[in-house]
Each structure stands twice: as C-alpha cells, then as structure tokens.
Structure 1
Amino acid sequence: MTEDFTERKARASAWFRTLRDEIVAAFEALEDTQTEGPFADLAPGRFEVTETTRASDDGSDAGGGLMSVMRGGRVFEKVGVNISTVYGALAPRAQAAMAARKGVPGMDTDPRFWASGISLVAHMRNPHAPAVHMNTRMFWTPQTWWFGGGSDLNPCIEKPEDTADFHKVLQDYCDKHDPALYPKYKAWADEYFFVPHRGRARGVGGIFYDDRNTGDWEADFAFTQDVGRAFLPAFLPVTERNRNLPWTDADKEAQLVHRGLYAEYNLVYDRGTKFGLETGHDATAVLMSLPPEAKWP
C-alpha cells in the first residue's frame, strides 16, 4: 500500500480525542444533576486525567494517550474513557497473532503498525443502571488499514425497554450508512460478547465490528464516527431513567456477581485487552475496564 496515510491518521486520532472530550463533559454534567439518592451528598464526580505511554523494546517513541478515570461519583462508581495513539513495531507474539487472524500479506515480515482509538467502560452506582462499554479504533499497517469498534449494554437487572431503546439508537445510526449493517453487527456482537465458559452473554448486546475496510476510507471513517456519536444518545436516556430507582441488597449482590462475569470476559477473551498488554501499552490503562468491586458465586 503506497498511499500516504499521514493526514488520515491525524484526522482519526483527532476525532477520537474530540469524542472523548464530549463524553467526559456529558458524564460530569450527569454527576452535577444527580441530586437524589444515597450518594447525592457526595461531591459530583470528576475525571482524573493521566498521560499514558507505550513501552518499546529499543526505547524509541512508541506513542501513548490519555487515561481519564472517575471513581466514587454520584452516578458512576467507576468509569474510564481512554484514548491512545500508538505505533512502532509489533512484538513477535502480537505480530504472529495479527498475521494469523487478519491474514494480512507481509505482516509476518514487516511488523510496523499504527493504531488509534477510544475505549470506554462505565460501572454504575445503582444496580438498575446498566454498565456499558464502547470503543472505536483505526489500525494501519504498511499493507492495509481497517476500522473496528462498537458498544454494548451490560445490565445486571435486565429491562426490555432499556435494551430496545439502546439498540434502536444504534440501528438508526447504522441505517444512515446501510440498513444491512445493524443486523450484521448486532449478530457479530451477540457472538463476540458471549462467555463460553459460562454459557451466556455478558449483557444484552449492541453492535460490534472489526476489519472494516470497504476500500473507501472516507466512508468507513464516517461510519466509525457515527458509531461513536450514537453512544451518548443511546446510553444517557437509559441511565437517566434508572439512576434514582430504589434498590435492595439482593439487587446490589446481583450487580457484583454480574461484574465478576464482566471481569472474566475482559481478562480471558477481549481482543483489546490482549492487544494492549501484548504491545506494551500502560497496563493500568488497558485494565481500566475492570470493575471497582465484584463477587463470584
């Protein structure tokens, strides 16, 4: 692939930063408006922002990002919104895995890569308010490029109206590009977010896609931007109608056990976790997705 991607990489990286800023502002505003419930007397939660770096074998610049984490808020017990732009050469293990999974010609001999994206996981105070995950990313090698990402809802107390509303927003944004995308990527999410050793899904799904390269970078970037834009209108209304509901000790127990399932999935199966750790990115940022407290039956 001879095309110069410098400008496109910069645009993608800048978009993920813009999306991060919008989400952080919306979440802090949600904290400000939480004036009911047992945590209303706390100071509204705010994100702590830390720069992260990727370690390289030779000490050269390998990129990094921003880790933004809020802990102990009124609405959010823990939420992280991370962005990163990393580059360099893949370690042999990651290089072999990428060559095998992607089938990228030349990946086995040329390990250079560039990757940028945003990753978000929110664990809520109220057991009635579902946890949520969202990420979008762009990956480049000298041979090819692709986009990936998605979002999925993870309630411990499932409510059909929450599931329907969350999915409806995702479908609306997908349909702007192609009505075939939502059913395709919903099915992919149902498969991807399944926990084989538990025999169940980790939540009520959403959309998931990877390896998106139609040959039209602008169209694929536009779609990936809309996947990110869909997140707040899909998630905020669900949170707002559940955040003040009363809960019982049994509800809290269900939340903690479900968080255990979430942690199992992220540590055993999640591609992003594996890629981040294998490529030397800041381990604290990679494992930001883990809940602050969990239980196992």
Structure 2
Amino acid sequence: MTTDFDSQKARASAWFRELRDQIVAAFEAAEDAQATGPFAGQPAGRFEVSETKRASEDGSDAGGGLMSVMRGGRCFEKVGVNVSTVYGTLGERAQQAMAARGVPGMKDDPRFWASGISLVAHMQNPHTPAVHMNTRMFWTPGAWWFGGGADLNPCIEVLSDTEAFHATLKAYCDKHDAGYYPKFKEWADEYFFIKHRNRARGVGGIFYDDLNTGDWEADFAFTQDVGRAFLPAFLPTIENNRDRGWDEADKDAQLVHRGLYAEYNLVYDRGTKFGLETGHDANAVLMSLPPMAKWV
C-alpha cells in the first residue's frame, strides 16, 4: 500500500496553522484581560502579521509562512507565533547534519519538506515566565518524523507555576504513552542546557525529535496534543501573576536571564541553525530573541 504523503503533509500544515490561530486569539484575549499593572492603561496589544518567504538558490518557489509578532503589550513585552511550510533541496551543511542524525538517503536525494509552528513569549512582568513551544513535521524521500515540545523559562521561579506546567504536559503525554513524559522531560533537561554557563535555560518541559514509531497517525495525534497542551499549561502562569508587582531588581534579574536565553538560541538551538542555513526569513528565524537583554 502506497503512503499518501501529500495528504499527510497537507493535514500537518493545516493543523499548525489552526493551532497558530487558537494561540493568537488566546494571547490577545489575555491582553484584553490585563486590567492592572503599569501597562494596563494603554491599548491592549495586538499581533502584527506578515508573510515570510524561504529564499531558494535558484529563485524557485520554496515555501514560506506567517510571522505574527506582538510588541509592547499590557502583559506581553514581545511574543512571536510563526508558522511555515518550506520545501526544496537541502544544502551541503544541512545534508551533513541530517546524515549525522541518521536520516537515510541524503546524498542520493536531498529533497525535503518541513512544516511547523514556533512560539516564544517574553513577558512584561518579571514574575511571569518566558515560554517557548514548537511542533513540526519533517519529510525527506527516505524518512519522515515529528518533533517539538514546550519549556518554561522564569527569571524568578514560582514553584507552583513550574509544577502545574509540568503536570499539564504530563497529562497530555500520558494519553499516548506513559513513558513519553519522563523520556521527553529528560530530553528537554539535556537539550535546553547552556553548556558554556553550566546551567539550565529554564525549568524545563518536554522536548522530542525524530519521532517516527512507524504509525504516522499516532505520531501526528501525539504532536497535536503537545500543541493542545500549551495554552492550558501556560495561560495560568499569566493569570497567577497578573496582579503581582515588581521592582527594579526584579526587572534587572529578568534582563540578565534574557541574556542567557539569547545566548542559547544563537549558539545551540537546532531550529535557529536550520532556518538560517536553509534560507528562511531571518527575521522570522530570530523572532525568539528578546526585545531587551542584559549581560553582567
């Protein structure tokens, strides 16, 4: 039986766009609900949306997506929610990276297709953690797989927020496999580690890549639930800290932590490296960087 990859690609791409729409609406609703704090008197933040394009070497259509960024909101200082579907031929460096990960057939046929959603939020209130989430599907003629996850990055940890975030992720993972949460939590702890600082980027979450159990429907369903878990995992951290005040020392701690976040994304992040090496819109790739940061 021949696998209908075109249909699967279309379904995955449509899901990532649907999830993007849900998150954008929820974040704008959170802006509307922010009635206290130093930014409550200003207009609620709204996303600015622009199309992105992947630049192919021969000028042919190579896909693109939507970049949605909100800046200077009541509770979000900067948040980006990007979706993209890109395709073409991998360059030599990207081929080597894929081959090193065990992707078969890269030398013979370096075509690829990739679709996903990527989100990073940096908050006004230092007590509300920054957050990252992404899910994606990748296809080559020799393989397909899913990847993604979500992780919390507080500069001033609120333990109850951390515990609730992890509990929500675990509940959604457990619907599919009781071994997923501990496996993918450990992977996140290893992946989101800043080696040159010898410290974690945040308080973790889950991370997975190269997920191919041989059952596309099951792996897609799990990846959808990772996306569905994000809002119930993260929105309570906004609500819990909405009325919490902060001082100059708190803001300073936030800016220093953002410096660590920027270092990680520029030095280690797979998505950043892949996006820049394959010619995707640089502004979309670097959307994750904070609006302001500080180094000591």
Q: TM-score range by the shorter chain?
A: over 0.9
Contact 1:50–1:66 at 8 Å: present in 2 too?
Answer: yes
Aligned length: 296
Does residue 16 of the first structure (1) align with residue 16 of the second (2)?
A: yes
Measure the CA separation in 2 of the matches of 1:234 and 1:3: 35
| AA matched with 2:65 | G
The whole-number CA distance in structure 1 between the counterparts of 2:158 and 2:249 is: 17
In structure 2, C-alpha distance between the alignment counterparts of 1:38 and 1:13, rounded to whole Å: 39
Percent identical residues: 80
The C-alpha deviation readout for 1:231-279, integer Å capped at 9, x for no partner, is 0000001111112201011000000000000000000000000000000
After superposition, give the CA deviation of every residue in 1:190-242 in whole Å (9 maximum; x if it has no partner): 00000000000000000000000000000000000000000000000111111
The aligned counterpart of 1:241 is 240
1:212-227, aligned counterparts within 5 Å?
212-227=211-226
Encode CA deviations 1:106-149: one digit per residue, 9 max, x unaligned. Answer: 11221100000000000000000000000000000001100000
Trace 1:175-214 onto structure 2 (pairs within 5 A): 175-214=174-213
Amino acid at match of 2:61: D
Equivalent residue number for residue 126 of structure 1: 125
Is residue 126–residue 244 contact of structure 1 (8 Å, CA) maintained in 2? Answer: no
**AA paired with 2:70?**
M
TM-score (norm 2): 0.99
Summarize deviations over 1:67-110 as a string: whole Å, max 9, x none: 00000000000000000000010011111111112x12211221
When structure 1 is superposed on structure 2, of 103-112 and 140-149 the one drifting more is 103-112
Alignment of 1:257-276 (within 5 A): 257-276=256-275
- Which secondary structure does the structure 1 equivalent of 2:131 belong to? strand
Query: What secondary structure, in the 3-state scheme, does the structure 2 residue paired with 1:230 have?
Result: helix
Corresponding residue of 2:80: 80
User: Is 1:105 matched up with 2:100?
Assistant: no
Give 2:258's aligned amino acid.
Answer: R
SS of 1:97's partner is helix
Deviation at 1:3, TM superposition (A): 2.9
CA offset digits 1:41-85 (Å, max 9, x no partner):
110000000000000011110000000000000000000000000
Please state how far the C-alpha of 1:2 moved relative to its aligned partner: 5.9
In structure 2, the gaps of 5 or more residues are none
SS at match of 1:128: coil
| Backbone CA RMSD of aligned residues | 0.9
Alpha-carbon distance in structure 2 between the residues aligned to 1:4 and 1:180: 29
SS in 1 for 2:251: helix
Q: Distance in 1 between matches of 2:279 and 2:243?
A: 41
* Residue identity matched to 2:182: P
Q: CA deviation at 1:4?
A: 3.0
Q: In structure 1, how many angstroms separate the alpha carbons of the residues matched to 2:242 and 2:258?
A: 18
Detail structure 1 runs of 4+ shifted over 2 Å in the superposition.
1-4
The unaligned stretches of length 5 or more in structure 1 are: none
SS of 1:177's equivalent in the other structure is: coil
1:166 maps to 2:160 = no
User: SS in structure 1 opposite 2:114?
Assistant: strand
Would the aligned equivalents of 1:75 and 1:125 in 2 still touch at CA under 8 Å?
Answer: yes
Q: 8 Å contact 1:166–1:235 — kept in the other structure?
A: yes
Partner of 1:153: 152
CA–CA distance in structure 1, aligned partners of residues 143 and 283 of structure 2: 30
1:115–1:138: 8 Å Cα contact kept in structure 2?
yes
Spell out, residue by residue over 1:9-63, the C-alpha distance to the aligned partner (whole angstroms, 9 max, x if none).
0000000000000000000000001110100011000000000000001111000
Q: Give the counterpart letter for 1:124 in structure 2.
A: M
> Matches of 1:182 and 1:256 in 2, distance apart?
31
TM-score (norm 1): 0.99
Q: Could you tell me which residue of structure 2 aligns to residue 256 of structure 1? A: 255
Instruction: Classify the secondary structure of the residue corresponding to 2:187.
Output: helix
Instruction: Give the Cα–Cα distance (whole angstroms) in 2 for the partners of residues 113 and 84 of structure 1.
Output: 14
CA distance in 1, matches of 2:104, 2:276: 24
For 2:91, the equivalent position in structure 1 comes to 91
